[in-house]
A = this chain, B = another copy of it.
């Protein structure tokens, strides 16, 4: 039975684009709930400037208040040196650095060239100097909404440069839901062959309905680490009405049904997913919560007894 390691990103990636501030206590309670469910990793928050992302201005407080469960890694997004200092103080288990593999997306999203991002992240990695494991999320690895195709060689080039700096892992992100399963299989096979020592995580969006098909293709190719967001929260500004991140519970439900060991208490997870619309104040895309587990059976109508 293959073990799958899931990282839930709802309180960072999911909450980040929500319009109304979510109270610190709600964040802490949700993270504590996810810890109980058996996630391998939880992306708790981001140490960006509170002015840039007011939603995550309580990063220190959240990190200080959550109950840490043994076996769960609490990772945080670190954008720069100042963020790294704060993250070190908060005793995060992993620092997640981010840049785009597409030049235009990096300029639009991080407001600097890829080379400037790479230089800044190099500084962070050198500053941390092995005190905390580093993961790098490579955005737009399966396509950029402004540039189109991003050649696989570009992703592999950045992967190599970060591997040379000693990072522990890379997350290959389909930031706007452009990946298809053939592309995912090719990417997964090549990266595993070229970087056998790196922890490789795949991060999909369900923007065009292909999210779980891409999870399937990656798992078939041997990928065992995935990002997901409770309820499928976290959208894409380029596609109003479209889904965002894959829903953690939908992906976990599928992999579990297929016989993978996800380590997750699925009924408990669905309980927290069911509370999410109350926390964010709107419906969320996750399907399993609405439909129930595959084998949650329904009663038969009583008239059938007269027909037999």
Contacts and interface: CB of A to CB of B under 8 A. Distances in A.
A104 B292 CA distance: 19
Contacts of A290: 239-242
- Scoring A180, A206, A301 by chain B CB atoms within 10 A of each residue's CB, the highest score goes to A180
9 contacts: A104-B300, A112-B307, A180-B257, A181-B216, A182-B259, A207-B287, A209-B247, A209-B251, A242-B290
Nearest to A303: B111
Q: Would you call the interface of chain A mostly helix, strand, loop, or mixed?
A: loop
A12 to B, nearest CB: 22
A303 B216 CA distance: 38
Interface stretch (A76-84, A144-152, A163-171, A193-201): A144-152
A282 interface: no
A251 B180 CA distance: 11
Interface residues of A, number: 62
Contact of A182 (B107, B149, B258): B258
A291 B254 contact: no
Nearest to A249: B209
A299 B210 contact: no
A180 B300 CA distance: 23
B213 A287 contact: no
A69 interface: no
B304 A107 contact: yes
Interface in A137-186: 143, 145-149, 177-178, 180-183
